[in-house]
């Protein structure tokens, strides 16, 4: 088995760097990030050499050093002190009689000094323990304190900001990840330190992160080109920025912004915008249709009146013209009432008229009223329903209006000899009513639109059916206002079935408050 080295330092960057160097020198490397951890590892499995930092939180290097030296199992293990603050303490440090001293410095030089220290140890060169390699790079302790204060400050800032920040070294490895980043990524800090930054998320995101980093390093280094990606249930926006512009070796920051809410809001806004556009289109279509539909009966009325006023007409023609005028005035009146109805329903101005009633009674009443008309047209209407009442809390006049229009439509669009089957049944949460006819049916491309205002399926040339195309839009508005649903299934030439549900007792938009 190869030689084993234990590296003890709270500075993760240094641990990783030293680990790399030692592995290249043929060592198997264990890492301890504080004195406590180091002592545990020493007890468990004494290594062949220890690289020890002196200044660590909790248990510091001095104590670890004495621990190693004073235990029979470990006292023979060579110790190389690795430190960034040996200047003032150089004499004390050398008095410790370690087997080597290496000052922390930039990578290449650090590597060289470590290799030298190892070589001296191998050769048994005694002066190895009397010289601090890389001393010229050491920073005076007060300077370190200042630097540490700056670092603490920037770490506090990094900790508190909402952006995820990853510090990446010159070799694209993660040195530090702030709390926001750990939360976004959903991985513990120890999983991230030392890994390539492109492995920050999952394997399937690696390609994207590689592209982000390559674009950043290859380009001007401007972080304008943000990349947005989906990570688990979040949307992350990723940018990079140099730690020290002009010095790529210092590495860079990768910045992650959680834009999930923003993305959702944008989606909502686009949906809203699409709806507004659709409504705007509908409004202009509506205007065209209203003006057309109002124009036709008005023209008929105007024409009749003009003839009556300016021309001498016989009694019979006079009657006929007045009949035309009256019929068209009726039509206009119905249309205007429907439009007003629709406006009123949509403004929700009928809620106070809710009452508890048996919807089956209303349905039977509607069928009875239309019975004569059906008989005249040779159409049979049947009703299949339970015996007992089907109670709903609703505006009974409006519900009756819905049945009248559905049955009226079925009668209008069913040829002589056909049939209309009406059903009503109670289900767990609602009451389902269907009106099925054996009529002409609705072509599939029009199915979606029959509930639109003024929409009528074009009729074959030559045939006429009364109507303005408002009935179903009123039905839909009424049913939905009551918390129910209406839909249609149809086959051309075979007939149509309308399905209506109503919540059992006034569930839905404006349920009356419970008594008491």
Ligand X SMILES: Nc1ncnc2c1ncn2[C@@H]1O[C@H](COP(=O)(O)OP(=O)(O)OP(=O)(O)O)[C@@H](O)[C@H]1O
Residues 400-439 binding Mg ion (CB under 5 A) are 405, 409
* Of the candidate residues 405, 430, 481, 508, the single one contacting ligand X (CB under 6 A): 405
Let me know: does 25 contact 118? Beta carbons within 8 Å: yes
Give the binding-site size for ligand X (rule: CB under 6 A): 21
Q: How far is the CB of 164 from ligand X (least distance, A)?
A: 55
Q: Which is nearer to Mg ion, 76 or 487 (CB)?
A: 487
Residues 265-284 binding ligand X (CB under 6 A) are none
* Of the candidate residues 85, 409, 438, 501, the single one contacting ligand X (CB under 6 A): 409
Cα–Cα distance for residue pair 308/303, rounded to 1 Å: 9
* 457 interacts with, out of ligand X, Mg ion, none, CB within 5 to 8 A per kind: ligand X
Interaction between residue 297 and ligand X (CB under 6 A): no
Q: What is the 3-state secondary structure (H, E, C) of 313-371?
A: CCHHHHHHHHHHHHHHHHHHHHHHHHHHHHHHHHCCCCHHHCEEEEHHHHHHHHHHHHH
Contacts of residue 393, defined as CB under 8 A and 6 or more positions apart, other chains included, come to: 354, 355, 356, 505, 506, 511, 512
Interaction between residue 53 and ligand X (CB under 6 A): no
- The residue behind tokens 């009529």 is 439
User: Residue 343: CA atoms inside 13 Å, Cβ hemisphere, count?
Assistant: 6
Check the CA dihedral 213-217-221-224 and report its sign. negative
CB atoms within 10 A of CB 187: 16
Q: Which is nearer to ligand X, 66 or 292 (CB)?
A: 292
Element (H, E) at 366: helix 359-376
Q: Which is nearer to ligand X, 85 or 473 (CB)?
A: 473
Interaction between residue 83 and Mg ion (CB under 5 A): no
* 37 interacts with, out of ligand X, Mg ion, none, CB within 5 to 8 A per kind: none
* Angle at the Cα of 316 from the Cα atoms of 311 and 322, rounded to 5 degrees: 70
Interaction between residue 469 and Mg ion (CB under 5 A): no
Interaction between residue 457 and ligand X (CB under 6 A): yes
Give the binding-site size for Mg ion (rule: CB under 5 A): 3
Let me know: does 66 contact 86? Beta carbons within 8 Å: no
* 450 interacts with, out of Mg ion, ligand X, none, CB within 5 to 8 A per kind: ligand X
User: Which of 16, 368, 10, 314 has the alpha carbon at shortest distance from 174?
Assistant: 16
Q: What are the tokens at 395?
A: 């505006």
Q: Which is nearer to ligand X, 235 or 436 (CB)?
A: 436
Binding mask 89-128 for ligand X (x = CB under 6 A): ----------------------------------------
Q: Which is nearer to ligand X, 27 or 451 (CB)?
A: 451
Interaction between residue 438 and ligand X (CB under 6 A): no
- The residue behind tokens 């009443």 is 365
Q: Which is nearer to ligand X, 469 or 506 (CB)?
A: 469
Q: What are the tokens at 411?
A: 């009668």
Let me know: does 77 contact 55? Beta carbons within 8 Å: no
Q: How far is the CB of 448 from Mg ion (least distance, A)?
A: 17
Q: Which is nearer to ligand X, 15 or 470 (CB)?
A: 470
Residues 459-498 binding ligand X (CB under 6 A) are 467-473, 496
Q: How far is the CB of 184 from ligand X (least distance, A)?
A: 52
Let me know: does 238 contact 229? Beta carbons within 8 Å: yes
Interaction between residue 471 and Mg ion (CB under 5 A): yes
Residues 319-378 binding ligand X (CB under 6 A) are 338
Interaction between residue 251 and ligand X (CB under 6 A): no
CB closest to Mg ion, residue no:
471
Stretch of 67-75, 118-126, 318-326, 455-463 contacting ligand X, by CB under 6 A = 455-463
Q: How far is the CB of 447 from ligand X (least distance, A)?
A: 9
* Of the candidate residues 439, 484, 503, 508, the single one contacting ligand X (CB under 6 A): 439
What is the dihedral angle through the alpha carbons of 246, 248, 250, 255, rounded to the nearest 10 degrees? 100
- The residue behind tokens 């410790």 is 96
Q: Which is nearer to Mg ion, 231 or 454 (CB)?
A: 454
Q: Which is nearer to Mg ion, 235 or 411 (CB)?
A: 411
* Of the candidate residues 410, 422, 478, 486, the single one contacting ligand X (CB under 6 A): 410
- Rounded to a whole number of angstroms, the distance between the first and last alpha carbons of the chain is 83
What is the dihedral angle through the alpha carbons of 50, 56, 62, 63, rounded to the nearest 10 degrees? -90
DSSP 9: -
Q: Which is nearer to Mg ion, 405 or 496 (CB)?
A: 405
User: Which of 54, 49, 2, 12 has the alpha carbon at shortest distance from 32?
Assistant: 12
* Of the candidate residues 79, 255, 370, 450, the single one contacting ligand X (CB under 6 A): 450
CA distances from 463 to 292, 330, 396, 423 (A): 19, 21, 35, 30
Cα–Cα distance for residue pair 413/37, rounded to 1 Å: 86
CA distances from 333 to 326, 337, 469, 503 (A): 10, 6, 15, 33
Interaction between residue 508 and ligand X (CB under 6 A): no
Check the CA dihedral 410-411-416-419 and report its sign. positive
Q: How far is the CB of 452 from ligand X (least distance, A)?
A: 8
Binding site for ligand X (CB under 6 A): 338, 405, 409-410, 413, 437, 439-440, 442, 450, 455-457, 467-473, 496
- The site for Mg ion (CB under 5 A) is made up of 405, 409, 471
């Amino acid at each position: 088995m190869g030689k084993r080295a234990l590296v003890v330092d709270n500075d993760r960057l240094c641990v990783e760097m030293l680990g790399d160097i030692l592995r290249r020198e043929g060592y198997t490397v264990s890492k301890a990030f504080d004195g406590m951890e180091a002592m545990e590892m020493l007890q468990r499995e004494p290594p062949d050499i220890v690289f020890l930092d002196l200044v660590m939180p909790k248990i510091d290097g001095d104590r670890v050093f004495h621990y190693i030296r004073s235990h029979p199992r470990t006292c023979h293990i060579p110790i190389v002190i690795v430190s960034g603050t040996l200047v003032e303490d150089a004499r004390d440090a050398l008095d410790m009689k370690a087997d080597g001293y290496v000052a922390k410095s930039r990578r290449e030089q650090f590597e060289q000094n470590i290799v030298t220290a190892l070589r001296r140890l191998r050769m048994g060169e005694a002066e190895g323990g009397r010289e601090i390699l890389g001393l010229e790079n050491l920073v005076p302790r007060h300077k370190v304190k200042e630097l540490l204060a700056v670092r603490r400050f920037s770490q506090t800032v990094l900790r508190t900001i909402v952006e995820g920040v990853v510090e990446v070294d010159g070799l694209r490895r993660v040195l530090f990840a702030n709390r926001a980043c750990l939360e976004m990524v959903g991985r513990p800090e120890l999983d991230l330190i030392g890994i390539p930054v492109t492995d920050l998320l999952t394997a399937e995101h690696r390609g994207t992160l590689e592209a982000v980093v390559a674009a950043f390093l290859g380009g001007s280094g401007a972080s304008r080109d943000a990349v947005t990606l989906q990570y688990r249930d979040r949307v992350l926006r990723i940018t990079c920025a140099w730690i020290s512009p002009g010095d790529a070796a210092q590495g860079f920051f990768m910045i992650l912004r959680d834009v999930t809410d923003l993305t959702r809001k944008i989606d909502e806004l686009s949906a809203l915008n699409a709806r507004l556009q659709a409504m705007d289109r509908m409004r202009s279509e509506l205007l065209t249709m209203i003006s057309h539909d109002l124009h036709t009966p008005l023209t008929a009325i105007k024409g009749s009146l003009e003839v009556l006023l300016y021309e001498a007409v016989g009694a019979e023609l006079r009657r006929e013209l007045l009949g035309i005028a009256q019929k068209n005035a009726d039509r206009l009146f119905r249309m205007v009432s429907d439009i007003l109805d629709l406006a009123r329903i949509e403004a929700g101005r009928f809620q106070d008229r809710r009452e508890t009633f048996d919807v089956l009674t209303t349905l039977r009443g509607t069928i009875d009223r239309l019975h004569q008309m059906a008989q005249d047209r040779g159409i049979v209407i049947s009703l299949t329903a339970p015996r007992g009442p089907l109670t709903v809390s609703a505006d009974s006049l409006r519900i009756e209006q819905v049945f009248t229009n559905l049955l009226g439509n079925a009668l209008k669009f069913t040829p002589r000899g056909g049939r209309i089957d009406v059903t009503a049944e109670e289900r767990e949460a609602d009451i389902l009513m269907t009106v099925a006819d054996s009529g002409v049916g609705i072509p599939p491309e029009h199915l979606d639109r029959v509930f639109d205002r003024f929409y009528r399926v074009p009729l074959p040339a030559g045939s006429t059916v009364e109507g303005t195309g408002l009935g179903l839009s009123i039905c839909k508005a009424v049913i939905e206002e009551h918390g129910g649903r209406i839909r249609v299934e149809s086959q051309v030439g075979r007939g149509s079935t309308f399905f209506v549900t109503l919540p059992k007792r006034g569930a839905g938009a404006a349920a009356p408050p419970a008594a008491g």
